[in-house]
């Protein structure tokens, strides 16, 4: 599998999918959306893979949508914007419905669509210093495509608050709300085969 926005490592039947756009804090664009969809489809069907870890290289897990991509989208037609939204929805559904367990390894910032990625995973483990924010309202947008996953993960009342206020919240609050399942110092975000270690 050849990718330009992801690094994929498989060891001990666990695949680690590293988002590898460090210069933009792993913000996703049309290329990374397509590659995440294809990668999770392929790994989900691979009998030699028993679990998948989703992680981010560099200082952040995922900053949401790439602003350069969003600026280009401003000139798109209604049909083109709808098609892009459907591709994002397909990516999230592919991760959510993956037949293999998917574990989010969260460090640094998880903003906007990055929160959606966390919510689409089966299990989320966050570094104690991780920060979360549903920041779309600051851009005059609503977190529509990620909304169903975030609501399932943290509950409707909490989601309504953070959708509207775009407040930052820390890993402890994410744990309290159920968005993440466990917390650890970044150096301890490991599994049996040490696949969660920093890249």
Give pLDDT, residue 190: 54
pLDDT reading at 194 higher than 50: no
> 184 forms bridges with which residues in the sheet?
127
Q: Phi, psi (5° rounding) for residue 176?
A: -60, -40
Which residue in 69, 56, 53, 52 sits closest to 19, CA to CA? 56
* Residues 8, 3: Cα–Cα separation, whole Å: 9
Give pLDDT, residue 68: 78
Which residue in 125, 94, 115, 199 sits closest to 159, CA to CA? 115
pLDDT reading at 75 higher than 50: yes
| Residue positions counted in the chain | 199
Give pLDDT, residue 188: 74
Sheet with strand 182-184: strands edge to edge: 6-11, 14-19, 51-56, 102-106, 123-127, 182-184
* Annotated catalytic residue, options 22, 35, 136, 173: 136
pLDDT, one tens digit per residue, over 22-71 is 999 999 999 999 999 999 999 999 999 999 999 999 999 999 988 777 77
* Residues 25, 147: Cα–Cα separation, whole Å: 22
* Residues 188, 64: Cα–Cα separation, whole Å: 25
Contact 60, 66 (CB under 8 A): no
pLDDT, one tens digit per residue, over 142-187 is 899 999 999 999 999 999 999 999 999 999 999 999 999 999 988 7
pTM score, whole prediction: 0.92
Q: Is 22 a catalytic residue?
A: no
């Amino acid at each position: 599998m050849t990718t330009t926005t992801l690094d994929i490592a498989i060891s001990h039947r666990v695949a680690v999918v590293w988002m590898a756009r460090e210069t933009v804090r792993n913000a996703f664009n049309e290329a990374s959306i397509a590659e995440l969809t294809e990668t999770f489809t392929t790994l989900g069907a691979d009998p030699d893979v028993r679990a998948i870890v989703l992680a981010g290289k560099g200082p952040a897990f995922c900053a949401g949508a790439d602003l350069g991509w969003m600026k280009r989208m401003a000139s798109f037609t209604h049909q083109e914007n709808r098609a892009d939204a459907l591709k994002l929805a397909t990516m999230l559904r592919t991760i959510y419905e993956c037949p293999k367990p998917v574990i989010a390894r969260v460090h640094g910032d998880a903003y906007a669509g990055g929160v959606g990625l966390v919510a689409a995973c089966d299990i989320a483990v966050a570094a104690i210093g991780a920060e979360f924010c549903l920041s779309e309202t600051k851009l005059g947008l609503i977190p529509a495509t990620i909304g169903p996953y975030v609501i399932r993960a943290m509950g409707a009342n909490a989601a309504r608050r953070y959708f509207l206020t775009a407040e930052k919240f820390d890993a402890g609050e994410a744990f309290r709300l159920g968005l993440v399942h466990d917390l650890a110092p970044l150096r301890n975000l490991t599994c049996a085969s040490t696949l969660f270690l920093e890249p």
